Homo-oligomer: A and B are copies of this chain.
């Protein structure tokens, strides 16, 4: 998907919400467990109920791999459904991969070609030749982990590498990668105050922001420090939407949650335009 298409979807829907499909058989409504493919049935119901309020879906690959072959099948069916029914949606494989050259190319093919995702999350630790194979794919996007929302982010990411925080060095160095215009970055919402610094290094790239809601980040703060003229934000919510209810009304309650976030986003977009 071209970035212009994502931007126009955000404006049209007045939403930059990404719904995380972290589908967990222990948490979905029990009446679905008798279905032939409960994970897909759940995803389909969530997608049908929330698609008007969001611009992206992000399956976390761990949740599918945990169920082996069956999980992989549910992921394939979910992607087929999304790509055929809602081709306007931006899709993110939250895979956090990262390996050397020819192995990265394998992962890129698995996610960009076989599964037809628009983007994938990548760990930067192995550097340039682990990232550039993903950047070769036109109209596909590579979302580099920069500053994550978990406690462990302070183990390395915020420590100083040659005088500046490692996560900033990741932003800085990755700007010189071939096809760097296809890069986006993960920045945890629980660290919204870091966003102004980040925008000094990468003024335009899209940021994928997890951690609003359940993990305690503030949407308003994220927008204040991270929004650009082309919005430049995708804010993710997973559990808060998926598991709003565990009863038969789960899809309606998920829609309520997504709509409520979308409305808050519309207010932030209006605020930014005015300012």
Interfacial residues, chain A to chain B (CB-CB below 8 A): 22, 60, 62-63, 65-69, 72-73, 76, 94, 96-101, 103-104, 106-107, 109-110, 114-115, 123-131, 145, 148-157, 159-162, 166, 169-170, 173
Decide: A98 and B127 in contact? CB cutoff 8 A.
no
CB-based nearest B residue for A69:
B72
Q: Are A152 and B123 in contact (CB under 8 A)?
A: no
Say which residue of B68, B100, B157 sits within 8 Å of A114 (CB atoms). Answer: B68
Q: Is the CB of B76 within 8 A of A156?
A: no
User: Cβ of B62 and Cβ of A72 under 8 Å apart?
Assistant: no
CB-based contact A63/B145 at 8 Å: no
Q: Identify A127's interface contact among B67, B68, B103, B154, CB under 8 A.
A: B154
Cβ contact within 8 Å between A150 and B65: no
Q: Which residues of B have CB within 8 Å of A67?
A: 114
CB-based contact B125/A62 at 8 Å: no
Report copies per complex: 2
Most B C-beta atoms less than 10 A away, residue of A129, A150, A162: A150
Assess A62 versus B170: contact at CB under 8 Å? Given A123-B123, A152-B127, A155-B128.
no
Are the CB atoms of B127 and A125 closer together than 8 Å?
no
Residues on B with C-beta less than 8 A from A128 are 151-152, 155
Which one, B110, B126, B152, B173, contacts A68 given CB within 8 A?
A: B110
Q: Is the CB of B115 within 8 A of A130?
A: no
Given A66-B106, A169-B159, the answer on whether A129 and B101 have CB atoms closer than 8 Å is: no
Q: Is B166 a contact partner of A150 (Cβ separation < 8 A)?
A: no
> How far apart are A217's CB and chain B's nearest CB, in angstroms?
14
Known: A60-B103, A68-B72. A152 touches B130 (CB 8 A): yes
Query: Using Cβ atoms and an 8 Å threshold, which residues of chain B touch A170?
Result: 156
Specify which chain B residues have a CB less than 8 angstroms from the CB of A73 in the assembled complex: 69
Which one of B22, B96, B160 contacts A98 once the chains associate, using CB atoms below 8 Å? B96
Bound: A114/B71 CA distance, A: 12
Q: Which B residues are in CB contact (< 8 Å) with A162?
A: 159-160
Residues of chain B within 8 A (CB-CB) of A125 are: 123-125, 145, 148, 156-157
Known A66-B107, A69-B72; 7 more pairs at CB < 8 Å: A60-B99, A68-B110, A125-B156, A126-B148, A128-B151, A130-B152, A156-B173
A151 to B155 alpha-carbon distance, docked (Å): 24
User: Can you pick out 21 interface pairs between chain A and chain B where the beta carbons lie within 8 Å of each other?
Assistant: A60-B99, A62-B99, A66-B109, A69-B69, A96-B99, A100-B148, A100-B149, A100-B150, A101-B150, A124-B156, A125-B145, A125-B148, A126-B150, A127-B151, A127-B154, A127-B155, A129-B151, A129-B152, A130-B150, A161-B161, A161-B166
